[in-house]
Amino acid sequence: MATFEIVVAISLLSLSLIWLLFRSKITHPLTYWPLIGHTVTFINAARLGAHDYLTYLLAQSGYTTELKGPSFTKLGYIITSDPKNIRHVLSSNASNYNKGPGFKKKVDIWGDGILAADSDSWRFQRKLNYSLFKHNDFLRMVVETAHRKLEDGAFPILDHAADLGPEVDLRDLFQRFTIEITCKFLLGIDLNSLSVDLPVVPFTKAFDEYKEVIFSRMTKPESLWRLQKWMKIGVEGKAAKAATIIDDFIYQQISLKRKRLREGLQEDVNFDMISTFMKVEAEASQCEMDKPTVPISDMFLRDSVVNILSAGRDPPSSALTWFFLLVSTHSLVEQKIREELKVAFGLKEGEKWQFPSFQDINKLVYLHAAICETLRLYPAIPINYKAAIKPDILPSGQQVGKGAIVLILFYAQGRMESIWGADCLEFKPERWISEKGEIIHVESSKFTAFSAGPRSCLGKDLALMELKLAIAAIIWNYHFKVVEGHSVVPANSIGLYPKHGLKVHVTKNNRA
C-alpha cells in the first residue's frame, strides 16, 4: 500500500474512533462495533482508569465477559472476577492454563524468570526459592534487615519531615524500604537509598515505567506495539531505555558477585539468593553430568534477579502505601491498632518502639485483619493472566478456545457485593474477625490477594512478616495526613500503586 493510502486509512480510522468515542457516551460500554470490535472500550479503559473501569464493566455483565480488538488482529480477552471461574482456572483445572508464549512477549523484561516461566523452569525456580524462604536463618536476616532499614533509614526521613514540614511521598519511601530489603537477601548489598536526601535510584523508576508499558501492550494489537518497539517510539521508546538501565544494574551485580565468590568472600552464601542459586546449580551440574563444577549462565541469574526484585519490591510497597492511605482516613482503625499494640506489648504513650519478634507481632489479630482488608480493596497484583492450553468451558458457561487469554481481575473481585456484601467498598477490618476474636478464613478463590492454586504466592508469609513489622513500628511512631487536593488513583499498570504517589504530612506520635 502506498504511503498516501496508509495515511488516509489511518486518518479515517482515527476519525471513526473519535466519532465512536463520542457515541459511546450514549451507548452501552460493551458495544461491539463492526471491524474495530471493542477498541472503544480499550481506549476508555486507558483514558478513565483501567482498574475501576473494568470493575464497572464486569458489574454490568455478570462478572464475566469478553473483549475483542479489531477483527484483523488477535487482540482479545475473556475477563472475569467470578469466584467459580477463578477456582476453575487457578485450581481445579489449573493444568489447562499457563502463562503462554504471548505473555512472555509482553513481559519480555522478566525473561524466563519465575513470574513468566512455565513447566520445568517454573518448578525448578519455585523449588529453589521455597527452600530458601523457609530457612530460619534467612527469615532472621530479613527481620534484622527490616529493623535496621526502619531505624536507620525510614525513621530519620519521617522525623525530618515532621520537624521541618516537607511533604513525603509514601509510595517512594516504601519502595525504597522494600527494595533495600530485597537487594539484601537477593544480592547481599545495601543500596543506601533510604537517606534524608532521597537519592535517585534510576533502576527503580525503570521498573515502574516498564510495568506501565506491559499494561499498555495488553490493550494494543501485537503488531502495533511491536512496530513501536522496533522504532523505539512512544512508550516502547521508554521501555528500551528502562530495560537498558535494569540490565546494566543487574549484570554489574552478578559480575561483582562472581568476583567475590572467586576470591572466597562467601560469608553470606547461605542467605544470599544469587549465591545460593550459583551453588545449587553448580552442584546439580557436577552430580548429574559428572563434569567439573561450572557457573550457571548470567542470563538465568539475570532473569532470577529481575523477577525477585520485582516481586520483592512492588507488592509489599504497594500494600504499605494503600494501607496508610486507608488508615490515615479512618482514625478509628488507627486507634484500634495502636491500642492493640499497647495491650500486646505493655506499651505506654511516649515509649520507644522496641521491635518485638515476628512471632510476637504475628499474634496481632486486628492488625492482620486491617492488612487483609487493605489487600481485598487494593491487591498488589490486580490482574492474573492465563492462556488456555486446550478448549474449555468456564463454570459461568463462557466458551474458552485453545490459546484464548483469560484475565482474572482480582481488583474487581474485591469490590463484588455478592461476596463482600452491600458495604463492599468500605474499609472495615472487622469483617475479618469472628465473634471469638479470630481471623476468619476466606477461600483463595474469593480473596485472591496472594492468588490461588499451584502458582499461589510463594512469598506470602515473607510479605506478611515484612508488612506487619513495618506497619507496627511506623504506626506507633507516626501519623500521616494526605496532602489536601492530592489525587490518589491507581495507575494503569500490572502492579497496583497510586499513579501520582501518596503525598502526606507527617506528625510524630512518640518520638522525641
What is d(CA 417, CA 423) in angstroms, rounded to the nearest whole number?
Answer: 7
356: which DSSP letter? -
Residue 496 CB-half CA count within 13 A: 26
User: SS3 of 444, please?
Assistant: coil
Residue 485 backbone zone (phi > 0: left; psi -120 to 50: alpha; other: beta) = left
> Torsion angle of alpha carbons 279, 243, 171, 179, nearest 10°?
20
Contact 150/474 with Cβ under 8 angstroms? yes
387 - beta bridge partners?
A: 98, 405
316: left (phi over 0), alpha (psi -120 to 50) or beta: alpha
Distances (CA, A) of 204 to 31, 178, 198, 324, 426: 39, 11, 13, 21, 32
Q: Rounded to the nearest 5°, which phi and psi values hold at 425?
A: -90, -5
Handedness of CA 397, 398, 400, 405 (dihedral sign): negative
Is the torsion defined by CA of 303, 306, 307, 308 positive or negative? positive
Task: Report the half-sphere exposure of 434 (CA within 13 A, side-chain side).
Answer: 6
DSSP annotation string for 452-507: -GGGS-TTHHHHHHHHHHHHHHHHHHEEEEEPTT----B-SSSS--BTT--EEEEE
Cβ-contact 462, 130 below 8 angstroms: no
At 294, list the grid cell: 561450572
457 in a labelled binding site: yes
Alpha helices in 292-428 (DSSP H): 298-328, 331-345, 358-361, 365-377, 410-413, 417-420
Q: What is the H or E stretch that residue 170 is in?
A: helix 170-187
Q: How far is CA 297 from CA 182, 281, 325, in A?
A: 22, 10, 42
With 0-12 / 13-18 / 19 or more C-beta atoms within 10 angstroms meaning exposed / middle / buried, residue 245 is: middle
CB 114 within 8 A of CB 126: yes
Helix (H, G, I), strand (E, B) or coil at 323: helix
User: Using alpha carbons only, what angle is made at residue 299 by residues 296 and 303, rounded to the nearest 5 degrees?
Assistant: 110
- How do 64-68 and 76-80 pair as beta strands? antiparallel
List residues forming the annotated binding site.
457
List residues forming the annotated binding site for heme.
457
